[in-house]
A and B are shown apart, each in its own frame.
Chain A
Amino acid sequence: MKIALALLALGLAGCAGQATQPGILCTAGEWDMPPAYHGNPWAPGGVGVARSFVFEALFDYIPETQKLVPRLGRSYHEEGHRLIVELEPGAVWHDGHAFSAQDVVATFQIGFLKGMEIWSYLDRIEAQDEHTVVFHWKIDSPTNRLLALTEPIVSPAHLNQQHLAVIQALPRGGQTRDLEAEGARRELLFAERPPLPIGTGPFRMRKVTASDMVLDRFEGYYRTQALKGVRIARWGRNEVIWSYLYAGQLDAISPACPYDVAQEILRRNPSLSARKPSDMNEMGLVINCRVKPLNELTFRQGLAYGLDRDAIRQLACGPGDTSQGLSLGLVPSQAEHWLGPQFSKGLTRYNYNPDKARQLLVTPERELEIMAPAGFTDLALLAEAAASQMTKLGVPASVRLVQGELYAQLLMEGKFDLAAVFGAQMGPTVHPSTSEGRFFARDAQLEKACGLPRNSQAEQWVADLRVSMDADQSRELCTRLARLQNESVSFIPCFEKRLLVFVQEGPRVTGWPAPDSPLWSAAPLGVERLYCSLAVQGYLRPAP
């Protein structure tokens, strides 16, 4: 008892230990706990959430304005099949070494080993001089520019000489690749375990423990940047994050959070406010079209008419936008941009209509199961709401939670009835080829899940869309794919997800952009990356 009291006294004596001063941005994230932690951005586990603060890309992309904000790159221009980038001359690595075009080359070269998407289109990359780098394309594609310009530059050439010489000699052609040599080199690359990452970014890693990451302002940074450092707490669980928000311990964070809890957090801590950018993905139910009675189109249509998506959205994702009865293979907010204003012409719209649903539905012989991954609150809630609605429609349904690893496997093997999933996702390049690809590309996850017969024509359309440089052709391809997707009713979209980003004005940091600022549209590309970009762009300042 005495010991307990003594401990309590100790606790009371020095609890100010975790209070942090103005100018330090506090957020939360995930990383491998020591001793597993390492500073090698390529090896499994990466460098954790610090990646967004320690490393930077040539440019930061803002989807809404389609603007590229200079970081390590100063400017770029395109000449024929080449992309030429002028680099920031003053940039320095955290170890003091000057940054040069060779480092950009090094990053993309090593990226080849990790299967970087850009190598499907890139022929070679060359350092023209100290501060100019040239990308030579073998195939033009609408995503090329973003793939090159927004990739974080993580590999200093001076620390990777031994890998570069070997990788440059590897054959690149589709059939002539030397997989064994690639594998051996990858092993050597992964085996490097520096204790902390070395980047060119505005923050430099000082320390990592199981619970905290401590980053200081990098004094050699080529721009003036006002924040003194970043402190990152381990994410643990969402409940922990909500507690930290109550306590005012976090300045910027985007947790999964029921709408009521969000309101309560905002009420309790008035210095917080919320931003709600679209997450560029659509959540819904994928239907396994192999099993009875889901193999019947009319039954699936019945379900599409019968589900009240707004009720599902309210429960699963308060701030989201309810889907309007169309499944386009595209995020709804992007539909008009890619398909034109007449996008819904000729498509069946499955608006909520329980009477029509009852006509189409038959009562199956058994209870249907909706699969959802355990631990993903929004998907589980979606499944639960849908199951209860189906039961009320006369199609008894229950929810089955499965562990994440198993979920992916069952999905691809088609061992489920319905499953709550992410449907259309626009990906880092915000291009429809990514989201349509999830439904129609070869080995696409959702196509495997729904089990409809392979459509080689659609596969070709997606392949064409990937490299189509012509706006009219892209629109035509998207329209065909959207029609195919909508009429097959293999996926019932429920809502477009919105992120909930909490930001705190003072006591440590001020200057968050207003809720309607287009800058927030970059949040789905990596919300921590956006925080760091806001600091570099001069929005964020230490609180007075």
Chain B
Amino acid sequence: MGAKFDVKVLTRNKVFLAGLIILFTVAVVAVFADAIAPHPYDEMNVSLALRAPQPRFPFGTDQYGRCVFSRVIYGTRIALGVGLVVVLVESLIGVTLGLLAGYYGKKFDKIVMFVTDLTWALPPLVMALAIVTMLGPSLINVVIAIAAVSWAQFARIVRAKTQALKNMPFVEAARAFGEGDLNIILRYILPNVLSPIIVLSTLTLPQAILSTTSLGFLGLGAQPPSPDWGLILSEGKNYIRQAPWISIFPGIALVYTVLGFNLLGEGLRDILDPRLKL
């Protein structure tokens, strides 16, 4: 696999390159938000409410006179942060269960697959809605809710790959050398399921961002005055006649970021594993 990560191979894939460039700009904005944003995201000034875009407020102001541009800039941190944490949590759960179920098989496999099917059968957003309502609306609970309903894809793919790998000669050789199960799973099987995990992670990250903002939009995610894009959009929806800019700009930022991840994921799939189906 090492050779495939050749810089030339990566940059020759235009889709991957486009995704990489987009995400690089998003990451720069997130890191340097303090320097880029002209105002703090929660600085209110009611006398300047609902102003159209102008040099002082490039994206206009919202109903409390807050600078929409600054809010969108700071929102980048929330979107990226939540996306990364969600994917980290769900891939940890899914990969662990998938490896164990695929390797040990039998009863354990049946139980894991049953739970996986069950999770898959539930409408994800409805489940997330229920979990968030139970725990109360907040960003951390949104992370929990989304991770709890979306680890199933990881478990399925990793399990299938593990099943195919565990009877390969090199794994049998390792077993013959007297390697323990844990060692075999971590040193022989895991490296070989890494590429679908990487592809799946980059493709589920934008989904996680979309789910977070959807919940925020429904008022169940981040709470005001947080500059979460979904939250800004749901506030802007009430002023869509007088101040459409509140709704337009966070949406563009959201689509831009999600598009970046999707392009990156598509490109990575073409490079690493063209036959992978998700």
Indicate whether A and B interact. no
Which B residues are closer than 8 A to A by beta carbons? none
